[in-house]
Chains A and B, each alone.
Chain A
């Protein structure tokens, strides 16, 4: 299953090799041109000779993770986060380190040995280490180098009723959507950008958008879902099973109104369920694409994911499929009606 394979690949920001290799392998025989740039973006061109507007579809390959920054004399590894990780989720998790996928665990002081006040406080990242079982620094150095990265070790699988569980669904689900769209034909030039380093500052998309300079860009993302009983209803930005989430504004972009209206109209016409992303926090690649050169109209379509940026996130498979359908219908609407204006 595509989503399972993508989720189980490790591709922490700036170390996207495995994801890139997998994607390249799947697409290279099907597309006109595929190339990489200085930051490691995997860029695909389809129908470059076709008339009509240049459209960019973007999804980032990278996931949040940890970088090994030091090795203690005891052989324990000192780590720092790549991307935003809530440090409270790290305790007692399994990780895989580097290209060799060396297993390690993030340990924690046993509850028996903690002071009463300690139990109330979150454990700071500076107090956390990864244990690979090495006896000392020397042995650890034989397996791990400073600068190696660690990703969560989680099995991806179908879960509950129409849900899917795994790590890095933000944003392997976006990659899966792009792979699906790549199978289809459109009447205008399309640039697919599988980007690097989104989680550390939207870097891949910034330079990709400058290079491609499209007329319009659509970004695919796994976005945070807030539909848990402990969150107030008006703070639940998206909900699982309610369809793809359309962004009207976030911290990085105010989406062009005509683009939002076209997405809504398309969904209604094709009877595809959708929801608005009812929060303006966070940002996506649409922000930096919007600011490239003389300005590029850019929007985001997201698949809601619970427990994002943690080792286990959940998405709804219907949302995933409906996002593909909505994206397809939107692209076909450009064939019929041109760009939203």
Chain B
């Protein structure tokens, strides 16, 4: 397995929230029959489509750790056919301003390339030109006659941005859906590393669905698995001009370990200690808002789960040019691996001792 190829393939694959099949298939192929099958003890998928990759623990009474990274991406959905053009709405929080002039793929009876257009600027009133284009003024042009469109497309068909992942300098990669396919890649890499290691905890890595619609996949998978502790892997804002250093983190400077109400203090401490012991550079983010990552779903599962959150810095979030550093991904997987080595029954017992 080559991480760079996996990242690029995952980024390009279609998989809006609730319709993750194609992106999920890449992971299924890797773990059901492929190379990854030897890294885990058991492969399964639950009723909402979460992929569950289980690796047994090697100690007595192995505590169960659930890792979560989401595979769904934000996207669009067909709402109406209008004289051969398509009208659409969003799945997940898309910045409407980035849509104009984007190439898309409409996943109808077959994949159809489309273009997002609007009334040309010449025909707009001067006030209109100064404003961002609204979703309701955008249309998708398939370049096909109305009849053909009607036979190939249905209301409710998913739409993704048509974008191949692009390698930039310094191991940076830009593309769509890096949120949170970058996390999925780190998860996969962690399982690969664990093959060589003797760990006490049972590791259940869950590639979750429907995170962008309200952490739905993590919510049901964490209920079903009822782990002793959980760790979510997601992305956080990367540095760019105009953002302060406490709200945006440097690309290439390592994983961001998060603290805040959703994070158990012992897990936060142990993540930092694991990073320091293994010479992994890391950054720290204090996050006060509760929802928005799988960590929230994990924390609130059943009678409560001690949870941690590690994020990969990512620039231009929720656009079609989300940019991450491959180095951060591998360092994140290294951090996860080292953290897992620290977990045993005694550690887990301690999580309830406040």
Contact = CB atoms under 8 A, between A and B. Distances in A.
Give yes or no for direct A-B contact (beta carbon below 8 Å): yes
Interface of A: 13-14, 17, 20, 35-42, 67-71, 78, 80-82, 146-147, 197, 200-201, 203, 206-208, 210-211
B304 A38 contact: yes
Given A39-B304, A78-B246, A67 B354 contact: no
A201 B245 CA distance: 27
Contacts, number: 82
Interface string B74-86: 0000000000000
A40 B264 CA distance: 9
Contacts of B132: none
A20 B245 CA distance: 34
B240 to A, nearest CB: 16
A39 B260 CA distance: 12
Given A68-B286, A78-B244, A13 B261 contact: yes
Nearest to A83: B288
A238 B260 CA distance: 33
Nearest to B302: A210
B261 A82 contact: yes
A63 to B, nearest CB: 13
B352 interface: yes
A94 B310 CA distance: 33
Given A70-B245, A147-B259, A197-B261, A81 B288 contact: yes
Nearest to A17: B354
A80 B287 CA distance: 9
B354 A201 contact: no
A37 B351 CA distance: 8
A70 B246 contact: yes
Contact of B288 (A17, A38, A40, A69): A69
26 contacts: A20-B354, A36-B352, A36-B354, A37-B304, A38-B299, A38-B352, A39-B304, A68-B286, A69-B247, A69-B285, A69-B286, A69-B288, A70-B245, A70-B286, A80-B286, A80-B288, A82-B288, A146-B284, A147-B259, A147-B286, A201-B291, A207-B303, A208-B303, A210-B302, A210-B303, A210-B304
A192 to B, nearest CB: 16
A207 B300 contact: yes
A39 B266 CA distance: 11
Nearest to B258: A147
Contacts of B264: 38
B62 to A, nearest CB: 18
A104 to B, nearest CB: 16
Given A14-B260, A67-B260, A147-B284, A201 B299 contact: no
B305 interface: yes
Nearest to B301: A207
A67 B304 contact: no
Interface in B283-327: 284-288, 290-291, 299-300, 302-306
A85 B354 CA distance: 27
Contact of B352 (A35, A68, A69, A82): A35
B277 interface: no
B346 interface: no
A146 B261 contact: no
A19 to B, nearest CB: 11
Contacts of B123: none
Contact of A69 (B246, B268, B300, B354): B246
A203 B352 contact: no
